[in-house]
Copies of this chain bind each other. A is one copy, B any other.
Amino acid sequence: MNEKMISVAVIRRLPKYHRYLSELMDEGVDRISSSNLSKIIGFSASQIRQDLNNFGGFGQQGYGYNVKALHTEIANILGLNRHYKTVIVGAGNIGKALAKYSSFKRFNFDLMGIFDNDSKKIGNVINGVEVMEDDLLSDYIKKHNIDIAFLCTNKTSAQKTADILCDSGIKGIWNFTPVDLDLKEGVVAENIHLIENLFTLTYFLNQESK
């Protein structure tokens, strides 16, 4: 298996396979053909066969895929076979919502700390985790080997905070700010640009009503 050769487009489809395979497991389904998987997931059967061929012999002609084995393999590829230590930076509306979101814990994302620069928020406890002052962020990341920061600051603090995170040895930044971050080599980021997503919706909405 040579993961380095897998295209980004395939990688971005993997979490969706993972989700549907989880649901099939919950329903007690042991095996599924690419054509039945196609019906529920919405990719073509040939797309599915092509995608999953990247990861070796999970499909058997005439027998379909072993749901549990495929689920485990995809989870491993996505790096879900381990724990991640996370912090939230910015205890505003989005930061607080993420702190309370129960799915992260279930998937082994352990929220270690929440940081904010607003003295009124310091000491508040959100979902059992205390809000600490921003000045402690760098030392905390180093000391606890934090893997991922959920970046939920305002726009003006985003890049400056990202610089601190990078310099402190963070490995990944999940970016909820409306800023495209400049990051140190080796630090990865994924962006949730809410407003941009909403504007795409309004574009398509107006196309429909023409």
Contact = CB atoms under 8 A, between A and B. Distances in A.
Interface residues of A, number: 56
B84 A200 contact: no
A19 B4 CA distance: 33
A101 B192 CA distance: 14
B101 A93 contact: yes
Nearest to A205: B172
Contacts of A19: 178, 195-196
**Assembly of this chain: how many copies?**
2
A79 B206 contact: yes
A189 B203 contact: no
B84 A94 contact: no
A196 to B, nearest CB: 4
A63 interface: no
Interface of A: 3-4, 11-12, 14-16, 18-19, 42, 77-80, 84, 93-94, 96-98, 100-101, 103-104, 107, 109, 147-148, 171-172, 174, 178, 180, 186-190, 192-209
